[in-house]
Amino acid sequence: MSSSQTFKTKYGPWALVTGAAWGMGTEFARQIGALGLNLILVDIRGDELAQVAEEVRKSSGVEVKTVVTDLSRLEFIETLRRETEGADIGLLVSNAAYPPVGLFFEQSLEDKLRMIEVNCRAPLLLVQEFGAKMLARKRGGIILVSSGSALQGVAYISSYAATKAYNLILAESLWDELREHNVDVLGFMPGATRTTGFVLSKPHLGRSTVASIMEPKPTVAEALKALGRTPSWIPGRRNRWTLTVAQRLLPRKLMIKLVGSNMRKWYGK
Ligand SMILES: NC(=O)c1ccc[n+]([C@@H]2O[C@H](COP(=O)([O-])OP(=O)(O)OC[C@H]3O[C@@H](n4cnc5c(N)ncnc54)[C@H](OP(=O)(O)O)[C@@H]3O)[C@@H](O)[C@H]2O)c1
């Protein structure tokens, strides 16, 4: 059996990807479609989502449905339940996130609460809804997109980083709980990745040479490869080295300062 057949048998016939209108979500849609799974693509941006759906239908020949909904609203899960009725979803990619950049006391409380809704409550509801079905059918895969920022405190994205830690720990815990039920779970921790969202955050990249910026295509390919092999994964050799080796060698205080110093260069005035 080829690796794409194995992937389809394990995680098909349908996959659901949130935040698919652009960035890594679009790349997840492309690569999962190319592996032969039908797709349900979810995003708040209807026009861009329709374009991605059309592109994936043409390039992969799979069935693609779109659901335009706001994941910050509690009712989104009922919309998804209704819209996905009859689709046997074997793969969930919880990818959408709300990632505003700024110092904690310069961000509004409303913004911080929205981060909890989109980045924590929505993945929780998605796992509750679709993970339960995978558990019952004894087959499936769940990718919770976290971030390298989940591993330590990060100035300028304090609340966002905290929400990403929630995803990482939830994913790793579920990896252990669900593995005996043949459901694979992955906490995926990209570093800086050149997506639309990242570019729109306007980092002053020239001010720092420490961090490497990855492209969405190889980043997402690593997620799909890591699913079923490990509880969590950092894409990119350089990111893996920086985050894992440095985490082990450096005192946590120093690590937080180093990461913060890079953020000050990128986003400070
Ligand atoms: N790019 C990076 O450097 C990086 C690094 C580490 C981790 N990550 C993680 O990787 C994932 C994808 O990031 P990305 O950079 O590809 O993001 P992106 O380019 O900003 O795309 C995310 C998509 O999700 C949508 N979305 C956001 N809030 C939503 C909501 N409430 N309901 C429905 N859709 C919503 C966005 O729409 P709007 O644009 O209208 O909000 C956008 O279409 C995120 O979980 C992010 O935290 C990214």
Question: Which atom of ligand 1 lies closest to the CA of 48?
Answer: 43
Pocket test of ligand 1: the residue of 26, 44, 101 to mutate, having most ligand atoms within 8 Å of its CB, is 44
CA dist 108 and 145 (Å) reads 24
Q: Residue 123's closest CA among 16, 240, 266, 245?
A: 16
CA dist 13 and 152 (Å) reads 37
Q: Which amino acid is at 164?
A: K
Q: Are 124 and 171 in contact (CB under 8 A)?
A: no
122-125 contacts, C-beta under 8 A, 24 or more apart? 122/18, 122/71, 122/72, 122/76, 122/94, 122/96, 123/94, 123/166, 123/167, 123/170, 124/170, 125/74, 125/76, 125/77
166 lines ligand 1 (CB under 6 A): no
CA dist 29 and 52 (Å) reads 8
192 lines ligand 1 (CB under 6 A): yes
Secondary structure of residue 43 in the 3-state scheme: strand
The answer to whether the predicted template modeling score (pTM) of the entire model surpasses 0.95 is: yes
Q: Are 77 and 125 in contact (CB under 8 A)?
A: yes
Pocket test of ligand 1: the residue of 95, 115, 202, 263 to mutate, having most ligand atoms within 8 Å of its CB, is 95
Q: Residue 113's closest CA among 75, 78, 74?
A: 74
CA distances to 106, 180, 185, 221 from 175, in Å: 36, 9, 5, 20
| Ordered strands of the 183-188 beta sheet | 64-68, 38-43, 14-18, 89-94, 140-145, 183-188, 232-233
Q: Residue 198's closest CA among 122, 97, 126, 125?
A: 97
Question: pLDDT value at position 269?
Answer: 83
Question: How remote is the CA of residue 62 from the centroid of ligand 1, in Å?
Answer: 24
Question: pLDDT value at position 209?
Answer: 64
90-125 in b/e burial notation, b at 16+ Cβ within 10 A?
bbbbbbbbbbeebeeeebeeeebeebbbbbbbbbbb
Closest residue by CA, ligand 1 atom 18: 197
* 143: β partners: 93, 186
Question: pLDDT value at position 152?
Answer: 95
SS (H, E, C) 140-206: EEEEEECCHHHHCCCCCCHHHHHHHHHHHHHHHHHHHHHHHHCEEEEEECCCCECCHHHHHCCCCHH
Question: pLDDT value at position 1?
Answer: 65
Reading the chain (269 residues) residue by residue, the pLDDT tens digits are: 678 879 999 999 999 999 999 999 999 999 999 999 999 999 999 999 999 999 999 999 999 999 999 999 999 999 999 999 999 999 999 999 999 999 999 999 999 999 999 999 999 999 999 999 999 999 999 999 999 999 999 999 999 999 999 999 999 999 999 999 999 999 999 999 999 999 999 999 887 766 689 999 999 999 999 999 999 999 999 999 888 888 889 999 999 999 999 999 999 98
126 lines ligand 1 (CB under 6 A): no
